[in-house]
Structure 1
Amino acid sequence: MSILNAFVTPELALIGVDTEAMLPSGDLQQVCKIVVNPVLSAVVGFRGLDLMQMASAPVFSGWKGTFDALAEYVPELMRLCEEHCITAHGQPKEQLITNFALAGFSESSGCMVLHAYERTKHTQPIEHHRSIPQFYAPYWGDDHLKSLGICADRKGMEVLAREQCRKAREERPTDFACGGRFFIAEARRDSIRIEHAFEFPPHGKDC
């Protein structure tokens, strides 16, 4: 899996992602996990099976409708992408665990809004969390999050990502790909900026 975090206020949405991905062979590669749609002031971050991002990215970038309509369509999009991954790529259903985080300017709310989508098991429905203030993955509970003492801003997102990387490598060192570079997208109405925030330490070194 990967690191995917998002914070939102009425004026600003922040989405942060790492770049590390693990191939079936166990080899690590660096990949892009963010897609933007400047017309909608929208950013979507991905976590999980890379084929899901590859299948869904054209829809996010080429959507011909409102942000609100896109947000409601995403669960159906995920379902269609899952079918594609199974039929075209022979992907086992149990490996379709995926998170999407979509932030953008909501026409109905008149502000920046965050939606999160989770596929935890193929036997369960895709969860759609509407108009939430933040999203964290991986997530180890409220007590762990509170212990970091962070604010929902750019600096807080960097602190959180470093801790997520440290804890993931400590608890699941062989099957949890996280690291590489960390990018933060800042989305406002009519403005999107993406910057390389920092680089995670190589595996085997402290985060």
Structure 2
Amino acid sequence: MSLLNVHVTPQLALVAVDTDGIGPAGHFEICKLYPVAHANTILAGQGERRFLLEAFSRICLADRSVDYDVIVEAMPGLLRVLAAGARQHGAPDHRYAIAVVGYSPAEGCVCGRWYEGVVTRDQFEVHSLGSRVGPWPFEDRAPVPDSVENHVALARRQTAWHKSKDYAGGGRLILAELTPDQLNIRSPCRLEWEWGYYKLGRGAQYSEAHLLAFLESGNCAPTQPVPAPGRRKPTRAASEISPLLKAQEVLRAAADREALPDTPQRRQPRVLR
């Protein structure tokens, strides 16, 4: 599961995704947002990423001029073609969600559509996009992602939930800002230290509260240098985030000492009698 947060107004759209994926070798970074630059449109996805990539590839390879209106008109037929191919190749029944956001020449403003379904089925749901946050498995209402700051806050909380459930979700936040005549894509922050002191990956047993405290600390600032892979000793700020993380570091240090070979420095002093 991935995060996909969208806010669309007639003059501005903000679309955010994460970069975390899971494969046989563990976590790695992947692309979940694709710009169709000549059409001033973006495609972003959740779930089965091959479906998103196939849709993007076919749109870019079209032998005609395309814009947002042409893309949304073609999407239903395109999704059915992709579903037929998935059935032919015996693909599993994974779910997908695709957001298409761009400037509509017909409407004279920025618009968005949301497509959601199962990769092997012809049926799917289509919704006009205003604000959409996903996933949001919390009881309180999600903030509206109408600013960069709100997107960052939402994504950090979603990442904490993803990691507490051992789902794919995290890495970096990728944010696209689209207006009638401009498309910008940037990464405002790192959502986790996937390659840092605490590898918040598969099998990590942290509660949502502890992960959220870690992600909201200064260690997630965009200017914070990413530690080299393999380093395990946290900074002082990271070790003071919660008693749980601090205790885990103490246990790691103790385990490292036990693994050292017997040396004169570690031998117990002899008692002379």
Q: TM-score, normalised by structure 2?
A: 0.65
Q: Percent identity?
A: 23
- Between the aligned partners of 2:91 and 2:110, the Cα distance in structure 1 is 35
Native 8 Å contact 1:99 1:117 kept in 2: yes
Q: What is the number of residues matched between the two proteins? A: 196
Task: Name the structure 1 match of 2:155.
Answer: 161
Larger Rg: 2
Q: Which residue of 2 aligns with 1:129?
A: 127
**Aligned position for 1:79:** 80
CA contact (8 A) 2:144 2:150 kept: yes
**1:37-71 Cα shifts (integer Å, max 9, x gaps):** 22221111111112112211213334533312311
Q: Deviations over 1:159-197 (max 9, x none)?
A: 111111112222x22xx2001111101111221111011
Relative contact order higher in (CA < 8 Å, ≥ 6 apart): 1
- Cα contact 1:36–1:61 (8 A) shared by 2: no
Conserved 8 A contact 2:155-2:191: no
Contact 1:36/1:60 (<8 A) preserved = no
> Quick one: distance in 1 between partners of 2:117 and 2:100?
15
In the alignment, which residue of structure 1 is the partner of 2:189? Answer: 198
Paired residue type of 2:111 = V
Describe the shift of the 1:83–1:151 C-alpha distance in structure 2 as closer, same or farther (beyond 3 A): closer
Q: Distance in 2 between matches of 1:51 and 1:121?
A: 9
Distance 1:83 1:123 in 2: 8
Distance 2:114 2:53 in 1: 18
Residue 122 of structure 1 and its aligned partner are, at CA, apart by 5.3
Compute the displacement of 1:26 (Å).
6.5
AA aligned to 2:131 is Q
- The answer on 1:34 being equivalent to 2:33 is yes
How far apart in 2 are the matches of 1:188 and 1:19? 23
- Structure whose residues are more often strand by fraction: 1
Compute the TM-score of the two structures, normalised by the length of structure 1: 0.84
Matched, 1:3 2:26: no
Q: Once the 2 structures are TM-superposed, how far is the Cα of residue 123 of structure 1 from its aligned partner?
A: 5.8
Q: Distance in 1 between matches of 2:6 and 2:60?
A: 19
Distance 1:125 1:144, change over 3 A: farther
1: CA distance between counterparts of 2:80 and 2:27? 27
- Using the alignment, how far apart are the partners of 2:27 and 2:145 within structure 1? 31
Using a 3 Å threshold, how does the CA distance of structure 1 residues 107 and 56 change in structure 2: closer, same or farther? same
Deviation for aligned residue 1:158: 1.0
Q: 1:39 to 1:121 in 2, by over 3 A?
A: closer
Is 1:145 aligned to 2:141, yes or no?
yes
